[in-house]
Amino acid sequence: MDKWMIHGSVHEMRARGFNISQIAETLNVSRNRVYNYLSMDQETFQTWERQKARRTRKLDPYREEILKWLQEYPTLKASQIEDWLKERYPELLVGESTVRLYVRDLRRDHGIRKVVKERQFVAIPELPPGRQTQVDFGMARLGHEDGSESIGRFISFVLSHSRYKYVEWLDRPFTVKDMVRCHENAFRFFGGMTTEMVYDQDALIAVSENAGDLLLTEGFQSYVSFRGFDVHLCRARDPQSKGKVERVVQYVKGNFVPGRRYHDLADWNKRTIEWLDRTANHKRHETTKKRPCEVHSLEKQHLDKISSPVSFETNLVSSVSRTVHKDNTIRYAGARYSVPIGT
């Protein structure tokens, strides 16, 4: 229904005794729009529409570019458009609502529909600052300039209290050494570590080295013991246990990846950090209604400070389990060794 028909219908329904809420619900428009249309007769509305048509909008210089993005990626969100504009035009100062309304009008004028499947999550109590970090893996197809594609793998960390995020990519499967390095990078990015780390059982088992060196076995367990954080394993794709990081994984795949072209791993990780600073950790979170970066500045005070960076190769040595016999000895490589009484 176009604006002229809506304007006429608003006045007609009002004359028939409908209240504002009934008119808004029937015509699927906002209450403010009903009030606005009721304040204008047909002549005033016509003059207003003409003036509005001549009015330039802040994003008009970028109209063709935005329209091209929407036509190429119909599922794009306005927040993604905003991020792309700020990435390409750092000098552009534009509000979130300005972009949202502009994208909405472009979709309407050009018949570009967006079909979004919403996933339902179960609300759980908020955790205190410094308590928990959730970790999960993701995969995405990365488009190259020549039209080819490759598989990118990433690991995501999110502080459960502040929703402050860290993401790091690899162009190959993760190994135990990669896990240690990424954890260290995340702790430095956060300014410390939480007392508990939450992982996905299936993801930890699926990510392996040489089809047998599974995470959270000897190598990673050595790192966990060294850093001293608690580990909680949960079921795969369980929103009650680690829904926060699952949303981050989908956010990366749905907001950062589409429309960007992959050049090399270093550049891709650099652009990811810029996206985290500019968008993922800066925009207001829909649940907390706060900016993660602002809440993180407070949560940072509750994080456990970490020592100097750990290198898997130099600092961590896999432990070897042996049975202690009744005479307080162990056998290793054909030899017997005594251990302290009571071991």
**CA atoms of 179 and 144, how far apart (whole Å):** 26
> Same domain, yes or no, for 159 and 255?
yes
DSSP state of 113: -
Q: Is 98 a domain residue?
A: yes
Q: Do both 180 and 271 map to the same domain? A: yes
- CA nearest to 271, candidates 257, 281, 285, 283: 257
Residue 119 within a domain? no
Pairwise CA distance, residues 118 & 54, whole Å? 38
pLDDT of residue 321: 58
* Final residue belonging to a domain, choices 75, 110, 145: 110
- The boundaries of the domain holding residue 284 are 132-315
Average pLDDT over residues 214-242: 70
Residue 260, by phi and psi: left (phi above 0), alpha (psi -120 to 50) or beta?
beta
Q: Are residues 85 and 151 both part of a single domain?
A: no
332 within domain boundaries: no
Same domain, 91 and 153: no
Whether 327 maps to a domain, the answer reads: no
Report helix, strand or coil for 228.
Answer: coil
Considering the domain architecture, whether residues 138 and 278 belong to the same structural domain is answered as yes
**Confidence tier at 335 by pLDDT (50, 70, 90):** low
Q: Say if residue 54 is in the same domain as residue 161.
A: no
CATH number, domain containing residue 214: 3.30.420.10
> Do 13 and 71 sit in the same domain of this protein?
yes
276 domain-assigned: yes
Is residue 123 assigned to a domain?
no
pLDDT tens for each residue of 134-174: 999 999 999 998 989 999 999 999 999 999 999 999 999 88
> Cα torsion at 57, 80, 134, 118 (round to 10°)?
100
**Range name among 59-63, 163-167, 222-226, 238-242 with the lowest pLDDT average:** 238-242
Q: Mark whether 100 and 137 lie in a shared domain.
A: no
Whole-structure pTM value: 0.66
Total domain count for the chain? 2
Query: Percentage of residues in the chain with pLDDT exceeding 90?
Result: 38
How far is 141 from 262, CA to CA, in rounded Å? 10
Is residue 339 in a domain?
Answer: no
Residues whose CB is less than 8 angstroms from the CB of residue 200 and which lie 6 or more positions away in sequence, other chains included:
135, 136, 137, 233, 234, 235, 236, 237, 238, 242
Rounded CA-CA distance 174/13 in Å is 63
Residues 81, 198 within the same domain: no
Give the length of the chain.
343
CA distance linking residue 247 with residue 207, whole number of Å: 20
Note whether residue 245 is domain-resident: yes
Same-domain pairing of 79 and 191: no
Do 173 and 99 lie in a common domain?
A: no
Mean pLDDT of the chain: 83
Do 68 and 147 lie in one domain? The reply is no
pLDDT of residue 213: 40
